[in-house]
Amino acid sequence: MELRISAYDITDLDRAIEQKFNVSEEYGNSLFDENQRIDLNNYDYSLEPYTYISIIAEMQLQIDALYEFVHKRDKIFSQQNGWNTK
């Protein structure tokens, strides 16, 4: 990430920093799904590897996979023990 600040920008420094860290300002809202998580399914552009946003997107995929795995495991475990899984 590159943040350039000129002398005339000092008055809006807080706003400039906030905009730079706001992912939707940089990449647009199509990067997010309905749960406000990063989802590349509706994103029309490629992301450069090793950028902070591509790393976050990869982490989100890993989190989703782990969530699905744990949910399936818990469901199987509950069924084996006769627990109600609603």
Residue 86 falls within a domain, yes or no? no
Residue 18 falls within a domain, yes or no? yes
Residue 70 falls within a domain, yes or no? yes
Residue 2 falls within a domain, yes or no? no
Q: pLDDT category, 79, cuts 50, 70, 90?
A: confident
Residue 75 falls within a domain, yes or no? yes
SS3 sequence, the chain? CCCCCCHHHHHHHHHHHHHHHCHHHHHCHHHECCCCCECHHHCCCCCCCCCHHHHHHHHHHHHHHHHHHHHHHHHHHHHHCCCCCC
The pTM of this model reads 0.58
Task: Name beta bridge partners: 32.
Answer: 38
Query: Residue 8's pLDDT is what?
Result: 58
Tell me which amino acid residue 4 is: R
How many independent structural domains does the chain possess? 1
Domain that holds residue 67: 7-80
